[in-house]
Structure 1
Amino acid sequence: MPESVYLNGEWLAPEAAKVSVFDRGFLFADGIYEVVPVYHGHPFLLEDHLARLERSLAALEIANPGQAFWLDLIQQLLTRNHSQDALVYIQVTRGAEAKRSHLPQGPLQPTIFASVSAMPVHWDVPTPVKVTLLDDIRWLRCDIKSISLLGNIMLKQQAQACGALEPLLHRNGLVTEGASSNYFAVKDGAIYTAPTDHLILPGITRMWVLKLAKELAIPVHEQAFSVADLAQLDELFLTSSSREVQPIGQIDDIIIGQGGCGEITERLVHAFHASKRQLSAQ
């Protein structure tokens, strides 16, 4: 647990941080969040995370205090908690009002909360995991990093019941993403991943891995792959801020490749580790 969290201009012990029962985040999940990985005290790809935070706030028409505010907040959060390898969590809701109403009753003062948690950092090639194929039951604005995560939670519970790390979600026969990750398929030496539209969250790690793939001269297609093609894939992996590049060896009863980490996935794992070292040393 962190020593100190930020809430609406105050630095508090976690147990002392309270929000109003009329906060729209509590009543309606009317808010957004962002998660920033930190290596050796340096936020990773921070400008990209803050740009996505700005897009999410703009989509909900919630006021953004600006980049200087976020930079100072994150630095203070890391300093006060003596954090080196960590995940920074930021949440902004529309704020609290005097009564419960679906339609906000005029401009409100946003509720801003931030905390940090320790993140174990690995430098090896992760062991391949199992995922499970599930219908994507979530809403149609997955590009907004909304705190309304009930669909994601239900899907993660179903995946856990199947002995899987993550759900592999699909709509109309096409793979979208995971409950908290993006997916990449490898076939005949090329990478395929769903395009950044309203059906997926544009992951920052996803964006970075696509950049690394292009630097490694690996062909990239931002094109959704189909459920019908899963059994013929050469490799499959997912990305997220906490998992980085995670190889997948099995989808339900389908073994991908030979169940191990494929060559292209392994190259991207090593490239990601190298970029962590480089950016955290700057």
Structure 2
Amino acid sequence: MTTAAASLLPVALEAVAIASDLMRTRVPGLLTAKGDRDMASEVDYAIERAVRDHLRDKTPDIAFLGEEEGITGNNTAELLWTLDPVDGTANYVRGLPMCGISLGLIHKDRPIVGVIDLPFLNTRYHAAQNVGAYQGDRRLQVSMTTDLKDAIVALGDYAVGKDADNKNRLRLALTERLAANVQRVRMLGSAALDLAWVADGKLDASIMLSNKPWDTAAGVLIAREAGATVIDADGTDHTFTSTATIAVAPHLASQLSALVGTVINAVQSEMGSS
């Protein structure tokens, strides 16, 4: 699959270039509520449709999954494009630059191509399986941090919507434990940016207690190809069906996994006894 992955990377780069131009040149427009404190902008839909059309023309046999309008094409195929048209919509509509486009190609349950574009930071990351991760022509390498007390760790957003209070008990407990054990905790508001910045060594780890393929597929591959360890909450290798997405510099993986596991066990025990 390595050859096929590398051959499809140019298609992904073309599609993301189209998306980036739309994101930079249009205003967000009308916002559509998707649930409690969740929204999509007109640009989310415009990008998704433009990228879907481009990929359908270039790769008609590969199915497409977009965050806003779901799956099209042959959904029984082994290959699947997956897109978050605006990752970090809440940031985007407020003019915060921590937002971008995330396009991944999944083979069975693992990503093999990934492109993340951060239009307002003028940065684009890409990777193909077994050929490395890059920002432009610069090859990416994760940080060499070896001790959690020296680590900068990004957390995914707190939960909204159904059962948010219970979900946030774990997130808040994890925030508290990290605050006591790492150099700094950051919440930047974009899963794609978090994963790309782990790959780029700007962050030492990223923890998301969720795993939606449009959010994570591209970033997981880019992080892996830059040398990151990417795991589920229980420390097992991250796949399409994982419940969490943790990308971490390899020397910190065992320390961070143990911390996350301790917090999960404590919160589950507390909730079970309440």
Q: Is TM (by shorter chain) over 0.5?
A: no
Choose 1 or 2 for highest CA Rg. 1
Instruction: Give the helix-richer structure, 1 or 2.
Output: 2
Taking structure 2 as the reference length, the TM-score comes to: 0.25
Taking structure 1 as the reference length, the TM-score comes to: 0.25
